[in-house]
Structure 1
Amino acid sequence: MEHLIYGVEDRPPRFFTTLLLSLQHLLAALGGIIAVPLVFGGALKLPADQIVALVNAALLGSGVVTIIQCRGVGPVGIRLPCVMGTSFAFVGAGISVGLEHGVPGILGSSLVGSLVMIVGSFFMPVIRRFFPHTVTSVVVTMIGLSLTPVAVDWAAGGVGSAGYGSVANLAVAVFVLFLVIGFVQWGKGMISASAVVLGIVCGYLLCLAMDWIDFTQVRQAAWFAIPQPLHFGMSFPLSGVVAMSIAFLVTIVETTGTFMALGAATRTPIPGKRLASGMLCDGVGSAFAALMSSPPVSTFAQNVGVVSLTGVASRHVVMLTGVMLLLAGLFPVLGALVVTIPQPVLGGAGLMMFAMIVCAGVRMLSSSEQSRRSTLIIAVSLGCGLAVTVRPDLLAKMPAFIREVFGSGITVGALVAVALNLVLPGRELEVHEEVAA
């Protein structure tokens, strides 16, 4: 998007407009939020009622923290259009803890581990200086490149599905992709701004006509449920606390990159103080989530793609998305209805959204200093990040600690870029620290 239809502080003129724009953020995030508790439940062989409790708690926790991140409460919250949700960055550590200590061990370790992010937030003005323009450009690009394979898997029908890569799945994904392109390119006003949700709705109706929609989960879902704090209890195994603390350290790097990408998408400077407020919300939000019996939360990168594609950067729009997530936690039938959206439909829209993050990164890379040094930093860091992204089995024989820290292409690309910027002569520093938030 060359311009923003709604800036960070803008409010759409009508509630229905805000609702429609909020819905596309919900659709982009809901699958990821629900997936993490489902993965935990499957790996730990939890009974159905406990998995439902985890899902409800994750939705409610994500909704509350999204509202705080967007609105801001004192020093907590970056006040940008951030959707918060349960993160796959914690899945590896969480499952290893859960297999030995159960869900109480995961939640207790998450509560203590969140202190790493809370304490780390006070050092963000210093950490921000390690993310000058070239490094930030690499991280933004790696976020898009890392998410794109996810959209491809959705478009093909989902990893492990019997019809993965079938002509029908790909045709539906391409249909939605073309619709989104058409709405963005030729739509006016609301049509262009709500291109993602319109494309998904049209794809959903097509799948409904093809009898692809299974409403079993909707019929089985409860109409109303209140997640109970400390539903599973808590335990604090030392090994679990260490594992989750490492996961939080990795998440600090990824979340920093996501905030930088969001700053680029919303045309907003992200000085260290603002970055600290966002990171503090991530940490406090994860502690709150643990108390509500939910896995930890972090800022969702995929919603940066929604902002980049639609030009809607209003934090008030995403605040309403937080309210929707909260309601989905209280009314499970609403979340179950959204989950019926076939993955190829999400894949068609997701491919466009995530590719827009890549484009934003490429634009930033093109405006970086044109020198042999910056070229070397960009080339090596992108290459290392992509190596882990496209060949995750590369680290399969490494110790668990190495797999945990370097299992994400975003983290690898960011760490390599930061290290090269520090080591190579002519170090580039962030000089815009005093820019007002």
Structure 2
Amino acid sequence: MEKLLYGVEDRPPGLITTTLLSLQHLLAALGGIIAVPLVFGGALKLPADQIVALVNAALLGSGIVTIIQCRGVGPVGIRLPCVMGTSFAFVGAGVSVGLEHGVPGILGSSLVGSLVMIAGSFFMPVIRRFFPHTVTSVVVTMIGLSLTPVAVDWAAGGVGSGSYGAVGHLAIAGFVLALVIGFVQWGKGVVSASAVVLGIACGYLLCLALGLIDFTQVREAPVFAIPQPLHFGMAFPVSGIVAMSIAFLVTIVETTGTFMALGAATQTPIHGKRLASGMLCDGLGSAFAALMSSPPVSTFAQNVGVVSLTGVASRHVVMLTGVMLLAAGLFPVLGALVVTIPQPVLGGAGLMMFATIISAGIRMLGSCEQSRRSSLIIAVSLGCGLAVTVRPDLLARMPAFVREVFGSGITVGALVAVGLNLLLPGREGQAHEEDEPAGQGVAAAPVAASASAA
């Protein structure tokens, strides 16, 4: 197991170094955070000023909850480098509620639905026992496999783009990918640790020189805006509450898997009490987000890739990312500037980050017990998870409830792995959870430099 460049409690030397390391987490998450309110706004045909209000609230809420998740406040917060943001897991239920009851219905249903996650957090010591090493290894691998198509779509120019797959897009993505590889492999200290942000910066400069950057959004964005609590009001339709509660149940499974992956990447034991603190922050954070007029938040899996790739596991770095998100919510022009980064640039870096999660998952799978039972669990759960990931239309004729629960490959893979582990003879995970080493078989990242080298 390779040594982390910075451990969970380490503080990188100097504000410039810390800012660079924080910025790459921001770049990895910002697009997803902004995309969800934009999807809601487009689906509900909201006027531009209301979409801006949703985006600002999402950024501000994500920033505050990220800070709490990383720093911890009493029993709330997992105290790991965890970026929080609005989640696509709630888009299906949110749009269906919004079309009938508007944004107030989405926010009110989210507020009540968050109680499911808050209540579920108290059962995490029990739920943790359903995630022994084999199951955790499957979930980590599925996170990487599910995110990789996202990076591929970015590299190709974005889903729905008329120039999807154009040679120019792929060339830019390949250029950024090559730079990130070079920075990680041959860079020293802070250069290696900030490989993602340096690769994106070089790709951005290339696109700027080629005239591919559109600054229209920057010119139109307000410089300063304060999100207003209860800006849209709230409504509490029973059907909406049920739909969002189901979405929160699904998110509990995905977030548990993400926390386990984060534990492996940071070489930190993830026991039931720590899971409970993280899940409680997710639930309370979503309730707070609803009051701030933002869609629900959850833990971002893509930022696990940043940790795995760079070997920077410092929660203090990601706390600064939370401050940046908060600032982006108060100064929309900053968020608009980041959004000008072309998708192929993000795709080149994202492919490396998400593939690193797959690599970590494969290492974990390799350290699992070599038995027919273990092989069966791994094969079937990965196969089912990939079926939904690569062929999402597989569930197109299913009832809405089934699509909501099984629409994510991560959730399907996790549920199948947990189910097989319970049903097949010789159940794994009956030993005390604290006895299982964190990140067994996982090397943090191909980072050779030590913390002192920075």
Structure 1 residue 196, shift from structure 2 partner:
0.1
Structure 1 residue 430, shift from structure 2 partner:
5.3
The aligned counterpart of 2:409 is 409
SS at match of 1:85: strand
Correspondences of 1:94-173 after superposition (within 5 Å): 94-173=94-173
The aligned counterpart of 2:279 is 279
Question: CA–CA distance in 2 between the matches of 1:19 and 1:281?
Answer: 25
Asked if 1:246 is matched to 2:246, the reply is yes
After superposition, the C-alpha distances for 1:154-178 in whole angstroms (9 at most, x for unaligned) are 0000000111000000000000000
Gaps of 5+ in 2: 439-454
Question: CA–CA distance in 2 between the matches of 1:108 and 1:278?
Answer: 23
| 8 Å CA contact 1:110, 1:244 repeated in 2 | yes
Question: CA–CA distance in 2 between the matches of 1:430 and 1:262?
Answer: 22
Correspondences of 1:171-250 after superposition (within 5 Å): 171-250=171-250
Task: Give the counterpart letter for 2:261 in structure 1.
Answer: A
Task: Give the counterpart letter for 1:275 in structure 2.
Answer: L
| 8 Å CA contact 2:269, 2:434 repeated in 1 | no
| 8 Å CA contact 2:19, 2:320 repeated in 1 | yes
What's the RMSD between the two structures over aligned residues?
A: 1.0
Question: CA–CA distance in 1 between the matches of 2:66 and 2:190?
Answer: 24
Distance 1:432 1:209, change over 3 A: farther
Gaps of 5+ in 1: none
Question: CA–CA distance in 1 between the matches of 2:92 and 2:182?
Answer: 39
Task: Give the counterpart letter for 1:401 in structure 2.
Answer: F
Asked if 1:379 is matched to 2:392, the reply is no
Question: CA–CA distance in 2 between the matches of 1:363 and 1:264?
Answer: 11
The aligned counterpart of 1:345 is 345
Question: CA–CA distance in 1 between the matches of 2:368 and 2:423?
Answer: 18
SS at match of 1:92: helix
The aligned counterpart of 1:89 is 89
Question: CA–CA distance in 1 between the matches of 2:366 and 2:432?
Answer: 19
After superposition, the C-alpha distances for 1:370-400 in whole angstroms (9 at most, x for unaligned) are 0000000000000000000000000000000
| Matched length | 437
Task: Give the counterpart letter for 1:235 in structure 2.
Answer: A
SS at match of 1:397: coil
Give structure 1 regions of 4+ aligned residues with deviation exceeding 6 angstroms.
none
Asked if 1:393 is matched to 2:393, the reply is yes
Question: CA–CA distance in 2 between the matches of 1:152 and 1:431?
Answer: 40
Structure 1 residue 13, shift from structure 2 partner:
1.1
Task: Give the counterpart letter for 1:119 in structure 2.
Answer: A
Question: CA–CA distance in 2 between the matches of 1:396 and 1:230?
Answer: 35
The aligned counterpart of 1:20 is 20
Q: Percent identity?
A: 89
After superposition, the C-alpha distances for 1:314-340 in whole angstroms (9 at most, x for unaligned) are 000000000000000000000000000
Structure 1 residue 66, shift from structure 2 partner:
0.1
Structure 1 residue 433, shift from structure 2 partner:
2.7
Asked if 1:365 is matched to 2:380, the reply is no
Question: CA–CA distance in 2 between the matches of 1:321 and 1:80?
Answer: 13
Task: Give the counterpart letter for 1:33 in structure 2.
Answer: I
Structure 1 residue 434, shift from structure 2 partner:
3.7
Q: TM-score, normalised by structure 2?
A: 0.95
Structure 1 residue 118, shift from structure 2 partner:
0.1
